[in-house]
Structure 1
């Protein structure tokens, strides 16, 4: 599996909410392109951490080629700061996991 994290600091709370909504509007496409999991971490009123898990790096490259590189550049042009890390990852989960607590995207 392959993980991609993004740290984003916005000019204000409204910009943060708009970007989160835009990302959520792309959820179906991203899950169809190989994303397995995405987690939004609300750090402050105007910043978030986003953690993505993909099946492998090929799926990350496919998602990037379709739209994400331009998306992050647009955020920077609006005055936001975007940084990120990525790499191979190993995912563990509890046998007690309750998938009803997650938002399922189809």
Structure 2
């Protein structure tokens, strides 16, 4: 579940253009080693989940399961079930907030 602090932080990342949204763009960012952290939702489809997590594991990109698609979508203002974070500072900040 996304608390309001994390949700607001994701919104800030979106405004700063430091996240990539959508399955195909996230997969591409993982392959190109632009993604530093991938967030997936708990209710995403199992085939998509496997594709994303397998790609993350292969390319050694950390991934974390966060709340529902609705919660993530509300945080970034787009209906998405997976996002990639491309900025090291934002990645470290988010990991501290999640812990």
Structure having the higher helix fraction is 2
Q: Which has the larger radius of gyration?
A: 1
